[in-house]
Amino acid sequence: MKIKTTSKQGWVRFGQLGVLVIGAGAVLVATTTTAASAQPSQVSHGSSHESSSLRQLEQRVDNLENAQAITQAKAFITEAQSRYGLLFNGNGPQGPDRVTWGKDIFTGDGAFLAYDANLNLIPSQSFAHMKDEIATAVATQPATWPNTASANGSMHYMFAPVFDKITATTAVTDTPSMSVNAVKGSQTVNTLTIRVYHDTWVKTKDTAVDGGWRKVTSTWYRLD
């Protein structure tokens, strides 16, 4: 009887041990399966995070490049406005170069309009196309320099432009200016004209001068 009891107890313990082994195996398999199934999700989450970071970096680079392009555009346009008077009236020992003035400052396509202090159009100084205004300006250039045929001299003073709108390829500016005509070698002023130029600009492919920035249209208003 004792042998049977011992045998029965042994078989019971063996059965219990088997259940524990099977149970442990099931837990191990379940844990392994869960970890394996979770791994692709973690990788996918990591890839999404990396893609988002890359897009943010690319956006920052684009913003930086655009800001640099805008800064360069402002510098080029400001210089072009400053060269306006030097090319039209002369640069010290160098006389006027109104051919270059027309080529480097304007596209020649848009209108060049002038208004008096009462906002009335001045027909004699307004042109449907800048190329016609340029041709007229070239025709009035002194034949020789220094210009001994005239007792007077003049200069366009173009101040720093204010940028109403600007992108990497287009701009709209307002520029205060003053034109002085005076007797040479004296302080006698014949005329003093105060104007504000309203200009639209475009960046052309001819980048050799002023980064390719040219006036498409130009409208000025007398303030006196």
Q: Give the DSSP per-residue string, 51-84.
A: HHHHHHHHHHHHHHHHHHHHHHHHHHHHHHHHHH
Strands 213-222 and 112-115: what pairing?
A: parallel
pLDDT-derived band at 42 (thresholds 50, 70, 90) equals low
- Alpha helices (H) along 106-148: 130-139
pTM surpassing 0.85? no
> At CA 218, angle to CA 215 and CA 219, rounded to 5?
165
Q: Which long-range contacts (CB under 8 A, 24 or more apart) does 49-53 make?
A: none
Query: Residue 196: helix, strand or coil by DSSP?
Result: strand
Tens digit of pLDDT for each residue in 138-187? 999 999 999 999 999 999 999 999 999 999 999 999 999 999 999 999 99
**Structure confidence at residue 44 (pLDDT):** 61
Reply yes or no on whether the pLDDT at 75 is more than 50. Answer: yes
pLDDT-derived band at 224 (thresholds 50, 70, 90) equals confident
Q: Classify 62-222 by CATH class.
A: alpha beta
Lowest mean pLDDT among 38-52, 99-113, 137-151: 38-52
**Structure confidence at residue 33 (pLDDT):** 46
Amino acid at 61: V
Eight-state DSSP code of residue 195: E
Phi and psi based region of residue 108 (left: phi greater than 0; alpha: psi -120 to 50; beta: remaining): left
Picking from 103, 71, 88, 105, the residue whose alpha carbon sits closest to that of residue 199 is 105
